[in-house]
């Protein structure tokens, strides 16, 4: 399939804009989490420096299966949280970390959803949805114009099932971004696309377009 690109350049998106630190995360709703975690309450909270060890331990391996230097990237990103411009939200039941998001400022009014991760043992139980809903609430409150995420072509269909109903749509396919055969798909969100996602036909069209990428 020929390279398809939209208006986003993920290697330099907003790099000339002055970074604006995110506003602190607003309180998020509690939901019941069943399965192995029991019927305890899922809590979303902001990352703290003391969380670094277990975040790296749990998430680095998953990243490195998709990206050659994923563990090193995660360590650098967590260290940069003290400097502003990055927001990390953790999803926990009790003291057990089950998921997280990392957002990075890309200029005024723009964000990159750098990472969304949920423990494989508890996927499909609303944790990813709770994390994305938290991001959306913050973006609406901050009057964000655009957010985007890049996902490996290997996993984009699974990622899309979570993100497309939240208003993300296909924007570009970047061939060999992280080496030969390591293709990345760019999904973008805006207030307009969030409104469009209320239409099931729009969601099905977006999912179909992403599924077709594997066939080309």
pLDDT tier, 40 (very low <50, low <70, confident <90, very high otherwise): confident
Query: Residue 64's pLDDT is what?
Result: 72
pTM of the model: 0.78
| pLDDT tens profile 80-89 | 777 678 899 9
Query: Has residue 33 got a pLDDT over 50?
Result: no
Contact 45, 87 (CB under 8 A): no
Compare 201 and 73 and report the one with higher pLDDT.
201
Give burial (CB, 10 Å; 0-12/13-18/19+) of 76.
exposed
| Range(s) of the chain covered by CATH 3.40.630.30 | 16-143
Q: What is residue 216's predicted lDDT score, i.e. its pLDDT?
A: 61
Task: Please choose, from the candidates 149, 84, 142, 86, the residue with its C-alpha nearest in 3D space to the C-alpha of residue 116.
Answer: 149
pLDDT per position as a tens digit, 101-126: 999 999 889 999 988 989 989 989 99
Q: Which residue has the higher pLDDT, 154 or 205?
A: 205
What CATH number belongs to 16-143? 3.40.630.30
For 30, what's the count of Cα atoms within 13 Å in the CB-facing half-sphere? 9
pLDDT tens-digit readout, 123-144: 899 999 999 999 999 999 999 9
- How sure is the predictor about 39, in pLDDT bands with cuts at 50, 70 and 90? low
């Amino acid at each position: 399939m020929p390279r398809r690109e939209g208006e986003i350049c993920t290697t330099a998106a907003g790099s000339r804009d002055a970074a604006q630190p995110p506003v602190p995360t607003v309180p998020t709703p509690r939901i019941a989490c069943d399965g192995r975690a029991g019927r305890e309450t899922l809590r979303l909270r902001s990352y703290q420096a003391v969380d670094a060890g277990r975040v790296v331990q749990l998430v680095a391996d998953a990243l490195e299966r998709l990206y050659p230097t994923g563990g090193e990237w995660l360590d650098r990103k967590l260290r940069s949280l003290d400097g502003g411009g990055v927001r990390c939200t953790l999803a926990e039941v009790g003291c057990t970390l089950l998921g997280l998001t990392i957002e990075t400022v890309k200029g005024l009014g723009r964000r990159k959803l750098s990472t969304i991760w949920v423990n494989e043992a508890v996927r499909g139980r609303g944790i990813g949805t709770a994390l994305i809903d938290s991001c959306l609430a913050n973006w609406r409150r901050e009057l964000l114009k655009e957010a985007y995420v890049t996902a490996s072509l290997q996993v984009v269909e699974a990622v899309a099932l979570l993100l497309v109903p939240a208003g993300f749509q296909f924007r570009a396919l970047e061939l060999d971004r992280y080496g030969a055969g390591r293709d990345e798909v760019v999904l973008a969100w805006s207030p307009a696309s969030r409104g469009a996602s209320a239409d099931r036909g729009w969601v099905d069209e977006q999912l179909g377009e992403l599924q077709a990428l594997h066939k080309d």
